Structure 1
Amino acid sequence: MSVPSLAPVIPPSVEPDRRTPSPHHGGSPLPLPPTPLTRGDSVAYALATLDCHGRVADRKVMAALGWTTATALTIRQRNGLIVVGADRDGAFRLTAKLFLHLPVAVRGWCGLNTGDRVLLAAHPQQGRLYVHPPAVLDAALEELHTRLLGGAS
């Protein structure tokens, strides 16, 4: 006994009637969001946690900078922001595992404690790494939100 084959049933395509408003949006189209901001790939970002020895690390960030354990570094604090730069006369180096050790004095100036999360921003063209402590991020984001949103939450 043979089983008869069935032909597929494909409904015809129907264009919606554009004269009749859709019950989902009240008849007028939704506004498009503004064009999203674009960014280049010249900055490498990462979030890192300050360990109990004052170290932070992210392999992607260090790779973007091209720093090794042989790279001499300077570490400075400016207005709560930590600025690290390659400098042949620098007194600091990355650890064997490419961790950046932030000196106790710098951590104190910036109010950093073990377990704090920091934003790392590597700028390879400048040969700099910016370490953004939570207090700096709080202030920057508050200013940005006020400017972009007019103080509205």
Structure 2
Amino acid sequence: MTTARQPPRRTLDEQLIGAVIPTPLPRPAQPPAPMPQLPAALPAAREPVDDIVFDVARPDADGRVAAGALLRALRWPSGHRLHVNVTDRLLLVTARPDGRHTVGARGALPLPVAAQQMCGIGPHQVVLLAAVPARDLLVVHPSNTITRLLSNLHAAVLRGASHAH
């Protein structure tokens, strides 16, 4: 009768061979994640902020609005570089030398599609434009924001009028 040969038992003093388990290669440190871009600070006022110029417009299919009068009030010529930021469901447009957008040849103001979507501005929806020359700033208000603000104002006026009688 033949007996099956059993493998030799391991002893506690055995060690693994280095060639079987290679030394890990040094890896370069991962570059740090980029910091998120913070909203741009509003420019300091050049003069009192009582001079605000308003206009109403509709973005065209390319997301541009005709804003010639406001651009003249701001002294932003064709080709002027702009930065567009979204805050509180409003578009803030400021002049910046490193801006990604430019004033169009016919006085058209670009409103990026992503920014429009973040503000709830639908295709061809009316927007209220407010130029603040003292701050070198143009604010784009979606019509739904204007409707809400005016509704709240009218409700307050009507409440006050009913108490006056």
- Answer yes or no: same fold by TM over 0.5: yes
1:94 to 93, 103, 114: 103
In structure 2, do the counterparts of structure 1 residues 106 and 48 end up closer, same or farther at CA, with 3 Å as the change threshold? same
* C-alpha deviation, 1:89, in angstroms: 2.1
Q: Tell me the TM-score normalised to structure 2 length.
A: 0.63
2:54 to 45, 50, 62: 45
Structure 1 segments unaligned to the other structure (5+ residues): 1-39
Q: Tell me the TM-score normalised to structure 1 length.
A: 0.67
In structure 2, do the counterparts of structure 1 residues 90 and 143 end up closer, same or farther at CA, with 3 Å as the change threshold? same
- The yes-or-no answer on 1:58 pairing with 2:67 is yes
Quote the Cα distance in structure 2 between the aligned partners of 1:104 and 1:118: 14
1:43-78 superposed Cα distances (whole Å, 9 cap, x missing partner): 111111111111111221111011012322110111
AA matched with 2:120 = G
RMSD: 2.1
AA matched with 1:103 = P
Partner SS, residue 101 of structure 2? coil
* C-alpha deviation, 1:152, in angstroms: 7.0
Quote the Cα distance in structure 2 between the aligned partners of 1:135 and 1:152: 25
Decide which structure has the larger Cα Rg and report it: 2
- The yes-or-no answer on 1:109 pairing with 2:118 is yes
Q: Percent identity?
A: 36
Q: Is the 2:67–2:109 Cα contact (8 Å) retained in structure 1?
A: no
* C-alpha deviation, 1:151, in angstroms: 7.5
Quote the Cα distance in structure 2 between the aligned partners of 1:92 and 1:150: 45
Structure 2 segments unaligned to the other structure (5+ residues): 1-48
**Larger fraction in helix:** 2
AA matched with 1:83 = L
